[in-house]
């Protein structure tokens, strides 16, 4: 009954149009002060201690790095490099778009930043080269979602924060710890590469089927020049990922390094970002960070309520008593997350659903790292379908296409992503192979 009251109240508040963060906070406070004896001091304490985690600092730093890179001309040079390498294939500019999105995602950690940075340059160029607007929009909208999966993914950091310190037990009653940010970053590499490849195959197949234009083949000299120009941006991948796994710094310190490095190359190397424009980037990053940290704070409070009411444990016991096996549970998780994607943004879904589903998942034998990647792929799909798919709205602003038309345009790539979701769900080795290899 308590579970029903909590979720009905949360849904009712969200349906009024109230922001997710405030809906979470009001739900928790209303329930605690009317149906429990929890002292108000513990609520206030939880609000502050909820974000007293070192990992939380990675979020504003990665957002700031993404802002510097978006306005610093890094995406333009990456696109030139990708186009010089594969522009002569069928759908070459589309394939270059997928490749550029993958590379930019690997240095920004944000799907929206990837769509803005790559899409604002690539989409007009594709239309000018003779590609249908729908084709370009489908490619960039879906490929931009790679920012959620590739390290340094901000959503994977949120998953680590949302599940940190949870009282979870495995199938035999053994304690199970949550996944670290480093493990999740490493686990996102292989699935990210696989999804990039599958989106590229879909792009190539449609381009060949409809005989879309191909670019002249670049010479090796042109390719070398394009690589040399984009090298400073590509080195950021080495700085972040190499620094974490060489033990030089933690993921949070890597985020700070990424922000400093992105500032340096944007202002002093490429000189596309003027010093007078830096305050605007700082303000933009501060606004986005404040919004996310406010959601995190209220989500931590919501997680506290879930734990105090023993709701995840009750769900695990109920599912076990119903005879739900691992296959059925994972199917239900995907259905729940995809349904939540219809009315919530990825950050809110991760912060609300992870504390609820995580204890149930590990009780049924799901690896915490695998579950984090599964949630990330679900979030990718949610970004690309209406009514609240953020990538759709960003791409709509760039292409001036309506949401309905854009939804039709992303159809083939969205089906590819759903097929990949099934693969990730039931083949955990895809996510776990690299982390296990690195731990040997």
Mind listing the pLDDT tens digit for each residue in 118-148? 888 888 888 888 888 888 888 888 888 888 8
Residue 168 per-residue DSSP state:
E
CA distance 380 to 413: 12
pLDDT at 162: 83
For residue 401, cis peptide bond before it (omega within 30 degrees of 0): no
Residue 200 covered by a domain: yes
Residue 2 covered by a domain: no
CA distance 69 to 59: 16
Minimum mean pLDDT among 41-50, 121-130, 276-285: which range? 41-50
Residue 6 covered by a domain: no
Domains contained in the chain, number: 1
CA distance 74 to 230: 7
Query: pLDDT for 220-268, tens place per residue?
Result: 898 999 899 888 888 888 888 788 777 788 878 888 888 898 899 888 8
Scan for tokens 């199917």, then name that residue. Answer: 331
Residue 8 covered by a domain: no
Q: Which has more confidence, 158 or 71?
A: 158
CA distance 343 to 410: 19
CA distance 71 to 278: 10
202: domain range?
20-439
- What tokens appear for 234 in the block? 């590509």
Tell me the DSSP string of 78-119. HHHHHHHHHTTSTTHHHHHHHHHHHHHHHHH--HHHHHHHHH
Query: pLDDT for 332-390, tens place per residue?
Result: 889 888 887 776 778 778 888 888 888 888 888 889 999 999 999 988 888 887 766 77
Residue 385 covered by a domain: yes
Angle, vertex CA 130, rays to CA 213 and CA 407, nearest 5? 105
- Under the banding of pLDDT at 50, 70 and 90, the label for residue 112 is confident
* Residues linked to residue 94 through DSSP beta bridges, in sequence order: none
Radius of gyration (C-alpha) of the chain in whole angstroms: 22
Percent of the chain whose predicted confidence (pLDDT) is above 90: 11
Residue 381 covered by a domain: yes
For residue 349, which of 341, 361, 358 has the smallest C-alpha distance? 341
For residue 197, the number of C-alpha atoms closer than 13 Å in the C-beta half-sphere is 7
Alpha-carbon distances of 161 from 199, 347, 355, rounded to whole Å? 30, 12, 10
For residue 348, the number of C-alpha atoms closer than 13 Å in the C-beta half-sphere is 21
Residues 140, 395 contacting (CB under 8 angstroms): yes
Residue 9 covered by a domain: no
Residue 10 covered by a domain: no
pLDDT at 193: 92
For residue 397, the number of C-alpha atoms closer than 13 Å in the C-beta half-sphere is 10
User: Residue 422: pLDDT above 90?
Assistant: yes
């Amino acid at each position: 009954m308590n579970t029903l009251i909590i979720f009905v109240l949360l849904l009712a508040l969200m349906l009024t149009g109230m922001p997710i963060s405030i809906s979470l906070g009001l739900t928790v406070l209303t329930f605690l002060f009317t149906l429990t004896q929890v002292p108000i001091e513990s609520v206030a304490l939880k609000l502050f201690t909820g974000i007293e985690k070192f990992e939380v600092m990675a979020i504003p730093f990665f957002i700031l790095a993404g802002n510097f890179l978006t306005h610093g001309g890094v995406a333009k040079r990456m696109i030139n490099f990708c186009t010089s390498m594969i522009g002569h294939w069928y759908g070459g500019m589309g394939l270059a778009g997928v490749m550029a999105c993958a590379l930019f995602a690997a240095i920004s950690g944000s799907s929206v930043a990837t769509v803005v940075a790559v899409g604002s340059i690539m989409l007009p160029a594709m239309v000018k080269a003779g590609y249908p607007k729908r084709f370009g929009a489908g490619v960039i909208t879906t490929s931009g979602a790679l920012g959620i999966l590739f390290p340094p993914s901000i959503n994977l950091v949120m998953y680590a924060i949302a599940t940190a310190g949870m009282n979870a037990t495995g199938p035999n009653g053994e304690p199970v710890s949550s996944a670290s940010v480093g493990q999740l970053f490493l686990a996102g590499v292989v699935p990210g590469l696989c999804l990039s490849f599958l989106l590229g195959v879909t792009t190539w197949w449609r381009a060949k089927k409809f005989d879309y234009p191909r670019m002249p083949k670049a010479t090796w000299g042109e390719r070398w020049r394009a690589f040399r120009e984009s090298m400073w941006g590509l080195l950021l991948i080495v700085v972040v990922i190499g620094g974490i796994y060489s033990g030089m710094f933690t993921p949070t310190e890597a985020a700070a390094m990424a922000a400093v490095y992105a500032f340096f190359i944007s202002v002093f190397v490429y000189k596309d970002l003027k010093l007078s424009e830096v305050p605007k980037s700082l303000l933009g990053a501060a606004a986005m960070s404040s919004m996310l940290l406010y959601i995190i704070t209220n989500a931590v409070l919501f997680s506290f309520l879930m734990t105090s009411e023993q709701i995840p444990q009750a769900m695990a016991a109920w599912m076990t008593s119903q005879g739900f096996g691992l296959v059925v549970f994972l199917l239900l998780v995907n259905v729940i997350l995809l349904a939540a994607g219809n009315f919530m943004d990825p950050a809110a879904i991760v912060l609300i659903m992870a504390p609820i589903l995580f204890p149930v998942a590990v009780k049924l034998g799901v690896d915490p790292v695998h579950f984090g990647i599964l949630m990330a792929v679900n979030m990718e799909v949610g970004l690309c379908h209406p009514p609240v798919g953020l990538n759709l709205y960003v791409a709509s602003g760039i292409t001036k296409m309506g949401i309905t038309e854009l939804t039709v345009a992303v159809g083939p790539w969205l089906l590819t992503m759903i097929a990949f979701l099934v693969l990730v769900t039931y083949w955990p080795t895809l996510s776990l192979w690299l982390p296990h290899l690195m731990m040997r």
